Amino acid sequence: MTSVKAWFLVHKWTSLVCTPFLLLLCLTGLPLIFSHEIDHLLGRSVAAPSGEVTGGPVSLDHILSEAQARSPEGVVQFVVRDPDQPDLIFVRLGESIDAAEALAFYTYDVRTGAFLHEYPLREGVMNVILRLHVDLFAGLPGTLLLGVMGLLLVASIVSGVVLYGPYMRKLAFGTVRRRRSVRIRWLDLHNLLGVVTLVWLLAVGATGVVNTLAIPIFGHWQATELAAMIAPHRQPAPTEPGSAERALAAARAEAPDLQMSFMAFPGNGFAGPHHYVAYMQGTTPWTSKLLTPLLIDGRSGEVVARRDLPWYVSALLVSQPLHFGDYGGVPLKLLWALLDLLSIVVLASGTYLWWKRRRVSFDAWVQMVQARTGEVVPT
C-alpha cells in the first residue's frame, strides 16, 4: 500500500467513524461553554447579596451544622470555594461520605452564614446536555468511548493535512472556487475551514481525550500518591473529626499565598480515614488551575503533610478548563463558540462530501486531483 493511499484510507475511515460523535460533542459543547452564564440566567446559581456586611466571615462549622440540619440523611463530603465568588461557599453532601453522586449541593454566604440556594441536581436540559457530552448516559464506558473518538479525530486531522498539500498544489491558499459545482465549492470550503480550525480542533480534541481519563487518573493518584501521603500519619483507631474551621485555618496558615479550592472530609476518597485534605490553588490564571493538597490531622487540626500533584494530574487539571475556554472570561468563550460553530460546518460538509462521493475509490481520487492540479500525486 502506498503512503498516500494509506493516508487517504486513514482520513476516510477515521473521519467516518468519529464524525457522528464529534457532531454531538460540538452541538452539546456549545451551550456548555456558557454553562455558568446559563445557570445564572435560569436561576440555577446565585450571586452573593450586594452590600457591605460587618463582623467578618462566620465559622465554617456553623455553616456545616446548618447544612447538616437541612439534609439530616446526608453526610458532608466537600466544601468548595470559587475564586470568582469569594463571598460564597458551597457544601456538598452525599448519602455516605464516599458516595459518588451528590445528595445535595448548597450555597451559603460566608459573611453571614445565610443559606442562599440549593443547586438542582440531575435535572433540567443542561444536565441532559452535560451527560451526553461527558458519557452518553453510559458511565465510564461511554466516557472512554468518547476518548477513543477523540483519538480518531486527531488521526483524521493529521491525515487531512497530509492530503491537503497535493490537492491544493496549484491553488492559492484558502481558495473557494465559487463558479464550480456545489460539491466543489463545499470541498474547498471544507478544506479552508478545516485549516482555520486545525489548531483549535487539535487542542480541544487532545484535552477532551485527557478529560475522558479523569476517573482512571484520579483513581491511580488516590491509590498511589495520596495513599503514600497518608501512610506515615495513620491513626490506630477511628476518631470523630475535629473542627472543619480549625482545619481550614491551619491550611491557610500553612499556605498563605494560596487559597482553598475545596476541602475533602475524613473518610472521603480524596481525604484520609481520619484526615481532612485541603486542596489549595494559586491566584494567577495559570496557578488557579493547579492544586496543592495539604493533609490535616482530624483531631489536632494541624497540617501534617504537603505534596505537589504529579504531572499527569496537573495535565488533567489544566486540560479541563482549556477544553471549554474557561481561561479568559467571556471574550475567550465567544472565540471558542465561533470555532465550535465552524467545526460543525467542517464536520457536516465532510459528511456531505462523503455521501456525494461515497463510491469514489482511491485511484479515482488520485485521477481527480491530478486533473485539477496538472501534477502527478506522489504515491
Q: What mean pLDDT is predicted for residues 155-181? A: 67
User: Which of 163-177, 192-206, 286-300 ranks highest by mean pLDDT?
Assistant: 286-300
Higher pLDDT residue, 70 or 330?
70
Grid coordinates representing 241 are 473529626
Q: What mean pLDDT is predicted for residues 203-225? A: 94
What's the predicted TM-score (pTM) here? Answer: 0.84
Grid coordinates representing 43 are 436561576
Closest CA to 279 of 300, 260, 305, 304: 260
Q: What mean pLDDT is predicted for residues 190-197? A: 72
Grid coordinates representing 321 are 478548563
Q: How confident is the model at residue 1 (pLDDT cuts 50, 70, 90)?
A: very low
Integer Cα distance of 30 and 19 in angstroms: 16
Integer Cα distance of 363 and 165 in angstroms: 17
Of the chain, the percentage scoring pLDDT greater than 70 comes to 83
pLDDT for 158 equals: 87
Domain boundaries, the chain: 3-37+127-211+329-373
pLDDT for 176 equals: 59
Helix (H) or strand (E) holding 88: strand 85-94
Q: How confident is the model at residue 359 (pLDDT cuts 50, 70, 90)?
A: low
Q: What is the pLDDT of residues 29-79, one digit of tens each?
A: 999 999 989 998 988 889 888 877 766 689 999 999 999 999 999 999 999
